[in-house]
A and B are shown apart, each in its own frame.
Chain A
Amino acid sequence: MRPALILIPLLALPLVLNDFWLTQVATRSLILGIMALSLSFLATYLGVVSFAQATMAGIAGYTIAYFGPNSVGIGVQLPFWISIPLALMLAVVSGGLIGLIARRSRGIYAIMITLAIGVAFFYFTRQNYTLFNGWTGFSGVRAPEIGGLSLRDPLALYLLSLGTAVLALALVSGFVRSPLGLTIQAVRDAPGRVLALGISVTTPIVAAFAFSGLLAGAGGILNVWYQERISSFSVGLGPIIDILIVAVIGGLRHPAGAFVGAVVFVLLDTFAVDLIDRERFNTLIGVVLLLIVIVAPGGLQQLASDWVARLRRPEVKEKSTV
């Protein structure tokens, strides 16, 4: 009942939005939201903030670029029904490997390790020309035509992104109810005790990272179709921080908040040019992140629910002013 209330307006959105709004704001928010969902999933259910999500998304995106039509003449053309599953699979594998590397680390240690992995991958894509075409990367990447319908069409890409986002959220909520999902949450709460139940701790951690790789990979594929190019800058510190900011704005403990964060981020990005010098966008983003961390570490959702709670119970406010 409730999902329908949100889904119907979203399905009707193309009727009211022009192509600019649909593509630059709606579709972009959905894609960014899917990538950030991969982070907030890890943060919520495994309790690990990973800086390597842009890497997993990038591996999927590079796979699509390398095995699909591009204008730099590198790679091998494969039909989309091979390259898409391959891209998702490589993203899952990369997620699992990153989980394996970071499996013994939590908190700030995990942040340091995943950030090192993400930045090392960025430098690797810049150095390597045979697979990644160095820092110029791939351009002219085209979304495939499926049954005569081109996914480059704004409406088609929007609906595909919306469908993927809904599927991703459904997958997350199903996954966390599965035995493996429960074990992942148990590892978050008390890893030593999980072992004492007779369950290995490595499996759930690797599985959580691999699952986040699936989400990030799906976002990465959509993103490379949307941007029509991918380069080292797509996996550099910029996107790493963007994904983090989106997840933090949405609240790291609320997976669906990633989409709220994405809309806020994209609106800021799109209209910042009217507020401040376009060149200083990074300063603006930095200030926004800093303010969120200082004022509302739980993210916008937390802020909103606090306000709602305060409005409903004014006496709480009175108490706090005493």
Chain B
Amino acid sequence: MPVNHSHTNANALEVRGIGKRFGGFWAVQDIDLTVRPGERRAILGPNGAGKTSLFNVLTGDTSATTGQITLFGDSVTREPINKRIQRGLRRTYQHAHLFNGLTVRDTLFLAVAGVRGGWRQVLPLRAGDDRLAEAERLAEVAGVADVLDRETSELSHGQRRQLEIGIALAEKPKILLLDEPAAGLSPAERPKLSALLMSLPKDVTVVLIEHDMDIALQTSESVSVLYNGRMLAEGSPDDIMRNEDVHRVYIGGAHGH
């Protein structure tokens, strides 16, 4: 196996001039974004700013209309989502589409099997398969171990969000894109989720979409603000707090009407 050392200094994620058009409407346009390995980055913006559209393009759920995406130094702009997953990219979805007919255990197993890939995907399951053990470990980490054999359609909203994170953590992700992981959670469930996020290994790069400015500024070392599909501002949480543009369009907009 050739070991590639040339990329060790590359950025985790580098985005140049990304745009996504639906018909005549640009959901995002001219986005540049650079995230260092291990960085915790929040992406802020009011509803409709293009945050989820940007994530969809980054993961390959939809293809970019313009621009280039680089993961750890390798261009992935033309790669389908399943290839990007195998490069260590993971994401959670704001609206979880889970497999209703499968159990939590099966779902996590598939997440592990999907990342590992290879011909074993088609072989029968044997007792003591290490992928099953990994699935159970993920359930433990994500806090859904007590519902391992429950079908995902029977889970509560909070449990589904936790399962989403369990899926995203399969097989040591290198970069995690979290799309409003706390949305819709009860006050009792939020601390559990925050603790889970805080416990992520320090070398994992995390990009977090968060609607709630307070949470975003607390958990992240740098912030990018999207507005109307364009990058409005970037900087440390302090910079962003002091940025007048951000105050006008985002803070003013979100709290002022």
State yes or no: do A and B touch (Cβ within 8 Å): yes
- The contact of A182 among B110, B120, B123, by CB within 8 Å, is B110
Q: How many A-B residue pairs have CB under 8 A?
A: 83
> Which residues of chain A have C-beta atoms less than 8 A from B98's C-beta?
189-190, 193
Q: Is A314's CB within 8 Å of the partner chain B?
A: no
Q: Name the distance in Å between B176's Cβ and chain A's nearest Cβ.
A: 14
**Distance, CA A79 to CA B63, complexed state (A):** 54
Interface residues in A54-69 by Cβ distance below 8 A to B read: none
- A199-B121 CB under 8 A given contacts A182-B106, A185-B99, A189-B99: yes
- A189-B110 CB under 8 A given contacts A174-B124, A178-B123, A200-B82: no
- The contact of B81 among A174, A189, A196, A203, by CB within 8 Å, is A196
Interface range on chain A: under 10, 10 to 19, 20 to 34, or 35 or more? 20 to 34
| Nearest-CB residue, chain B, relative to A183 | B110
| Nearest-CB residue, chain A, relative to B105 | A182
Q: Name the distance in Å between B69's Cβ and chain A's nearest Cβ.
A: 16
Chain B: interface secondary structure? helix
Q: Is A294's CB within 8 Å of the partner chain B?
A: no
Q: Is A195's CB within 8 Å of the partner chain B?
A: yes
> Which residues of chain B have C-beta atoms less than 8 A from A207's C-beta?
122
- A183-B121 CB under 8 A given contacts A199-B110, A199-B113: yes
- A185-B91 CB under 8 A given contacts A178-B123, A179-B109, A198-B115: no
| Nearest-CB residue, chain A, relative to B100 | A189
- A180-B122 CB under 8 A given contacts A196-B61, A197-B111, A199-B113: yes
> Which residues of chain B have C-beta atoms less than 8 A from A195's C-beta?
80-82
**Distance, CA A250 to CA B30, complexed state (A):** 56
Most chain-B Cβ atoms within 10 A of its Cβ — which of A180, A195, A197?
A197
Q: Is A192's CB within 8 Å of the partner chain B?
A: yes
Q: Is A278's CB within 8 Å of the partner chain B?
A: no
**Distance, CA A177 to CA B132, complexed state (A):** 13
Write out, one digit per residue, whether chain A residues 185-216 have a CB within 8 A of any chain B CB (1) or not (0): 11011101111111110010001000000000
A198 lies within 8 A of B114 (CB): yes
B106 lies within 8 A of A196 (CB): no
Q: Is B85's CB within 8 Å of the partner chain A?
A: yes
B113 lies within 8 A of A185 (CB): no
| Nearest-CB residue, chain A, relative to B116 | A198
Q: Name the distance in Å between A24's Cβ and chain B's nearest Cβ.
A: 38
Q: Is B48's CB within 8 Å of the partner chain A?
A: no
B82 lies within 8 A of A198 (CB): yes
| Nearest-CB residue, chain B, relative to A182 | B106
Interface residues in B79-129 by Cβ distance below 8 A to A read: 80-82, 85-86, 91, 93, 97-102, 106-107, 109-111, 113-115, 117, 120-125
List chain B positions with a Cβ less than 8 A from chain A: 59, 61, 80-82, 85-86, 91, 93, 97-102, 106-107, 109-111, 113-115, 117, 120-125, 167
List chain A positions with a Cβ less than 8 A from chain B: 174, 177-180, 182-183, 185-186, 188-190, 192-200, 203, 207
Q: Can you report 28 A-B residue pairs in the complex whose CB atoms are below 8 A from each other?
A: A178-B123, A178-B125, A179-B109, A179-B110, A179-B121, A179-B122, A182-B102, A183-B110, A185-B101, A188-B101, A189-B102, A190-B97, A190-B99, A192-B97, A195-B82, A196-B81, A196-B85, A196-B91, A197-B110, A198-B81, A198-B85, A198-B114, A198-B117, A199-B110, A199-B113, A199-B114, A199-B117, A207-B122
